[in-house]
Structure 1
Amino acid sequence: MAKQTRIQTKNQATILDAALDVFSTHGFRGSTVDQIANAAGMSKPNLLYYFPTKGAIHQRLLSELLTTWLDPLIEMKADGDPLEEIMGYVNRKLEMSRKFPRESRLFANEILQGAPRIQDALNGELKALVDEKRTIIQDWMDAGKIARVPVYHLIFSIWSLTQHYADFDVQIRAVRGGDVDPFDGSDRFLELLYERLLRPDGTSQP
């Protein structure tokens, strides 16, 4: 396969960035190639030169997203301090929501539609990683290093509480005021929440 020129690389990046805006706003079904072309500032035929279908663009975005989406959990180490490792994961997930809100909404839209384009990855790569880390967390609990809670639900709660700030940004701004950072105070709250939940003695640090 011939190496892409600088212009080709730039145009693909422009298309993908525009598509991320469109898909994260309208979902896959509600988005069109025309919308993406307009957002990218190029003609539809020019866009189709790089990506033959809307699905090809969407699949490319999802593939790149899944590569980075798993990284925060991969970084959790069995030989670290349990509370620090779990809080590190929470903070990394929260930071991902802060830095990549469009990607978070893209993923959420795909899940809400039944995950037709990433079901294999969910059943394979994601499940294998979660099961690996579940075993680590369960071992910490069995050793009395952290409080015993249902591990899958612990992981699900981390996903929910961190991604909420990106996926429901509009709702948060409506409640707190549009000019307030939706993430303001979230890191400290989550730290208190999970430390209180997971400390073996049931206490949290001030």
Structure 2
Amino acid sequence: MAQRAAKKNGKRSQAVSAKKQAILNAALNTFSQYGIHGTRLEQVAEQAGVSKSNLLYYFPSKEALYVAVLRQILDIWLAPLRAFHEDFTPLVAIKEYIRLKLEVSRDYPEASRLFCLEMLQGAPLLMGELTGDLKTLIDDKSAIIAGWIANGKLAPVDPHHLIFMIWASTQHYADFATQVEAVTGSTLKDEAFFQRTVENVQRMIIEGIRVR
């Protein structure tokens, strides 16, 4: 009896998680197109295949849903940086970070564009995360880079500006995908173009921080 109840509860939990994720996916798609002010909850609910009242059961307001989407984006966006450790060879670690960031731009372009939109608006609903967990993570990883520089393993550059440059050069391919495709005729979904992009961005950044 207990085992059957546990199995039933497990299935219910999976169903709830799947429904919440469907809502978040639909919200990401809608918010990235119309922004928070141009999005209606009815649109999100229809895309997610749920009623508006069901959506509001999980996310009590449009602002709460928007913040939940942004937090999920931030987790995706920061995952490559969290994988960055001081026991790696510096140039190998930075090359891999560039590759992972370009994979995020390839696989989650809508997420990157919505995050960019929030930043352009002054991050009114995400400032707490930016000045809290994000800043702590950046400070930790900047300290690793500073240690490599102090030990003569990297050229003397400002760690924050190095991270900002990697963000700018990799997220460009998501945030300005239409421009990239108009100029090159390709997107990161094209495997050959993706590999060329990785190699070129890696080369340009690595050559700037390699010890001479």
Residue matched to 1:197: 208
Contact 2:76/2:104 (CA < 8 Å) preserved in 1? Answer: no
Alignment of 1:22-171 (within 5 A): 22-171=30-179
Q: Which has the higher helix share?
A: 2
Contact 1:37/1:44 (CA < 8 Å) preserved in 2? Answer: yes
Change (3 A) 1:42 1:173: same
Q: Where does the alignment leave 5 or more consecutive residues of structure 2 unmatched? A: 1-8
- When structure 1 is superposed on structure 2, of 179-188 and 85-94 the one drifting more is 179-188
Contact 1:134/1:151 (CA < 8 Å) preserved in 2? Answer: yes
What's the offset of the Cα at 1:46?
3.5
Change (3 A) 1:43 1:131: same
Q: Where does the alignment leave 5 or more consecutive residues of structure 1 unmatched? A: 202-206
Residue type of the alignment partner of 1:103: A
Contact 2:30/2:44 (CA < 8 Å) preserved in 1? Answer: yes
Change (3 A) 1:6 1:148: closer
SS state at 2:36 partner: coil
**TM-score w.r.t. structure 2 length?**
0.84
SS state at 1:27 partner: helix
SS state at 1:70 partner: helix
SS state at 2:201 partner: helix
What's the offset of the Cα at 1:80?
1.7
Contact 2:67/2:125 (CA < 8 Å) preserved in 1? Answer: yes
Task: Tell me if 1:187 matches 2:198.
Answer: yes
Q: Which runs of 4+ in 1 moved over 4 A?
A: 2-7
Mapped partners of 1:191, 1:172: distance in 2 = 18
Mapped partners of 1:198, 1:46: distance in 2 = 52
- When structure 1 is superposed on structure 2, of 134-143 and 61-70 the one drifting more is 61-70
Which residue of the other structure, out of 158, 169, 177, is the alignment partner of 2:185? 177
The C-alpha deviation readout for 1:102-128, integer Å capped at 9, x for no partner, is: 211221121111111211111111111
Contact 2:82/2:137 (CA < 8 Å) preserved in 1? Answer: yes
Change (3 A) 1:84 1:178: closer
Residue type of the alignment partner of 2:199: R
